Structure 1
């Protein structure tokens, strides 16, 4: 039996979840860069959002009330994994959904491998650039956006129930349609 930080308890695998709380978009981007390597990462803008996501009751009020976030933010929702029928065939460099297939370029393939190996996880621009292009992310990222556009089009052609979702200012993740 190991501890809950990624080990096992009584023979049952336990998944780790890192929850980051940052009130501003700049702080959320920095947190995503810092914790982007975590297998499961959730970034919320307030403690209340984290409690809501975890289903934990709010503690009794304290003498100093917690200020509400300045910008209303949608509550974080758990992201289901992509359907098992969606597969990236690395040997033939194909994307397969049920009985349909579409060819992938090297960049599209490597990009999709990242997103499908950890569905729902946000991949930062920097991390994707390092994994797919093999260099640091510089400039406006038009090269990455071009790949994303082509991958979205191919997912649509296959009628796959997932898409590449942009997390503004942070990166991309695979999400249900």
Structure 2
């Protein structure tokens, strides 16, 4: 029987681990190996890690295409860069995640945004976010929109993703 003495956990105020992986399971295994409580930054690839370390903002879906400044679904206006959403020019009380969801859906112009696209765009990950997380977030968003009297529909397209519409009309980008 071999005896293994564990090294003390790393305890440096500014320390963190950067993990290039596509699964959360890999992070858990790494934490066990390190025997630490280091903050962990999950990235999809080395290019993303380099961009983050250089202080560049995340690209979301992995493309360098800039997002439009304003998106409209009927009288709902989404301003992703400002982290704001307005209904009939009045600001809505939404979280950054909820605004991200609206922005992603509105950016698809009424067509379906796949679950994979939603995860990449809203959560900034290629995986590790289950569809139940998406559905929970959408349920909370629907409740807030309904409470505010916002007349838009976020529809689930079974097995594919979500889409947004206002009175059957398509969205527009300004």
TM-score for both structures, normalised by structure 1: 0.48
